[in-house]
Amino acid sequence: MGRILAIDYGQKRTGLAVTDALRITANPLLTMETNQLQAWLTTELTKGEIDTVVIGLPTQLNGQPSDSMRYITPFMGWFRNRFPAIPLVPYDERFTSTLAHQAMITGGMKRKARQDKSVVDKIAACIILEDYLNAKR
């Protein structure tokens, strides 16, 4: 059983989180420029350590897809064509950025550090992954 990778896909930056080998905990991994994501995935997914990918789907309060889906949908198509053996699981990501900010405040992170959007992105990916793991249990 491999690890699960979560993607908080953004137009400029993408946050990533990954489980431990036993799929018990979710850990923030990194934030990268979105234009580097496909090359990173090509390198990392060929190692065989990750066997499932969860991608956050941005939805509005009424449950309808947000405008960000116009960026995510082509990426999902690329992923499924490039890695047909690795399941790509869409997962609702509503409020993950807000929850990430709250987690940073609760954790005692200084205001200046909380303004670093790259930290928010990888924490949001971690929240997506934690929610996914909890739903699977």
Phi, psi of 103 (to 5 degrees): -65, -40
The model's pLDDT over 83-131, given as tens digits with 9 standing for 90+, comes to 999 999 999 876 555 555 566 556 665 666 555 566 778 888 998 999 8
Phi, psi of 14 (to 5 degrees): -130, 130
Domains of the chain are: 3-136 (3.30.420.140)
Cα–Cα distance, 77 to 63 (Å, whole number): 22
Residue 67: which pLDDT band, with cuts at 50, 70 and 90? Answer: confident
Indicate the pTM of the whole model.
0.85
